[in-house]
Amino acid sequence: MPPTQRTRALDLLKARGMLRLRDFIAENIEPETLARLVRDQQIIRPARGLYQLPDAQIDAAHTLAEAAVLIPKGVVCLISALQFHMLTLQMPSEVWMAIERTAWKPTISYPPIRFVRFSGWAMTEGVERYSIQSYKVHITNPARTVVDCFRYRNKIGIDIAMEGLREGIRHRKCTPDQLWQYGKKAKVWTVMRPYVEAVVADAA
C-alpha cells in the first residue's frame, strides 16, 4: 500500500526538519492532515504556516533557520550574525534580520524578529549562504557584520560593535582590508578607522 499523507508528512519532517504549509501542499498533503497531526501532538506549529517535530533541537542556529524559512528573502545581520560567527558573547532575544527598504514587513509572532531595512548593495554584498539544518540561510559574513554593527552603533551600542571587531581580528575572521572595503561602501570608515587601527595595533 502507498504511504498515507500522515506518514509522508512525518517522513518529510524527519528528513528536512521544518516545512511550510506550502511545502506540504506541493507534496499533495492536505492542511487537514497537518491539523490532525498537530491535535495528536505528533508535530508542532511554532509559527503560522511552519511545522516541525516536537523533539526538534531548539538552539540559536535553529531559530535562525526558522526565521529564514518564514522570510526567505531576509538577511540575518547585526547581533544575530555576530553570534552565528562567534564574534560576541551576546545571546540576542530576537533574530536581527534585514529586509529590503521597500519590502512589506511581515507580522510574525515566532520566532521574535527585529527587522532593519537595507537597500541596494547592502542586501547582497558580503551576504553569504550558510547551511543550517539542511536550510540555506542568508547571513552577512564576519567583515560585513562588523561594519554593519558600526553603521548601526546607535541602535545596538558601540560596545557590541567593538566586541565584534576585536574578536574578528583576533580570530582572523576578517581583515583590515575587508573592513576598509565594506566600511567605505557603507560610508562609515571614517568612524571605524581609529578603532580598527587600535585593535590591529593591540593584536600585533
Give the domain ranges of the chain: 5-52, 60-203
What's the pTM? 0.75
Pairing between β-strand 127-132 and β-strand 113-118 as defined by DSSP bridges: unpaired
Specify the pLDDT at position 58: 58
- Asked if residue 65 lies in contact with residue 73, where contact means CB atoms within 8 angstroms, the answer is no
Specify the pLDDT at position 56: 66
- Asked if residue 97 lies in contact with residue 80, where contact means CB atoms within 8 angstroms, the answer is yes
Q: In what order do the strands lie in the sheet with 113-118?
A: 113-118, 95-100, 75-76, 135-140, 127-132
Residues of the chain with pLDDT under 50: none
Q: Cα–Cα distance between 196 and 134 in angstroms, integer?
A: 36
Specify the pLDDT at position 59: 61
Q: Cα–Cα distance between 108 and 136 in angstroms, integer?
A: 20
Residue 35 parent element (H or E):
helix 31-39
CA nearest to 13, candidates 64, 70, 60, 54: 54
